[in-house]
Amino acid sequence: MTYTYKYPRPSLTVDILLFRHKGEKTEILLIQRKHEPFKEKWAFPGGFIEMDETLEEAAKRELTEETNLRVQSLKQFKAYDDPDRDPRGRTISIVFYTFLKNPNHPAIAGDDAKDAQWYSILDLPPLAFDHDKIITEAIEKIIYK
């Protein structure tokens, strides 16, 4: 049986903060977006969840599709729900994070990522969506806690 709810529903996405320690530096993996919105801007790996997967399964799938990297576990960081955070419409994102155990494992862009690069958390390019806000909070609460 299918039930149609009469009220609008938001979309749900996941974003992944993948950190690594490289010497004395902490770096984060960013993908360059292949499509609009924010085409060619840098962002966290992530995307829309499928109807048959958990949030963590969606995050692991998106990370692998966009970077060819696999992780064993992720920790939920925070939900971001500003009504205007995504120009495509009302979208809520659940942000996950982890630290890569093998800092030399290469990231290879795939799916809707044009490129994948590691950046120092102290020297980031302009980011898509509200990712500047997210990384600022994550650095404060995860890296410098």
Which of the 8 DSSP states describes residue 74?
Answer: -
Q: How confident is the model at residue 112, as a pLDDT?
A: 87
Q: Where are the domains of the chain?
A: 11-143
92 vs 31: CA distance, rounded Å: 20
Q: How confident is the model at residue 40, as a pLDDT?
A: 96
Find the mean pLDDT for residues 4-21: 92
Strand 75-80 with 91-99, pairing:
antiparallel
Q: How confident is the model at residue 6, as a pLDDT?
A: 86
pLDDT for 93-142, tens place per residue?
A: 999 999 998 878 889 899 888 999 999 999 999 999 999 999 999 999 99
Q: How confident is the model at residue 81, as a pLDDT?
A: 97
Residues in CB range of 53: below 8 A, 6 or more apart: 61
Q: How confident is the model at residue 115, as a pLDDT?
A: 95
Q: What angle do CA 52, 95, 98 make, to 5 degrees?
A: 100
pLDDT for 46-87, tens place per residue?
A: 999 999 999 999 999 999 999 999 999 999 999 999 999 999
**pTM summary value:** 0.92
24 vs 145: CA distance, rounded Å: 17
Q: Is 144 exposed, middle or buried (0-12, 13-18, 19+ CB in 10 A)?
A: exposed
Find the mean pLDDT for residues 20-42: 95
Which CATH superfamily groups domain 11-143?
Nucleoside Triphosphate Pyrophosphohydrolase (3.90.79.10)
Contact (CB, 8 A) for 27 and 20: yes
pLDDT of 1 > 70? The answer is no
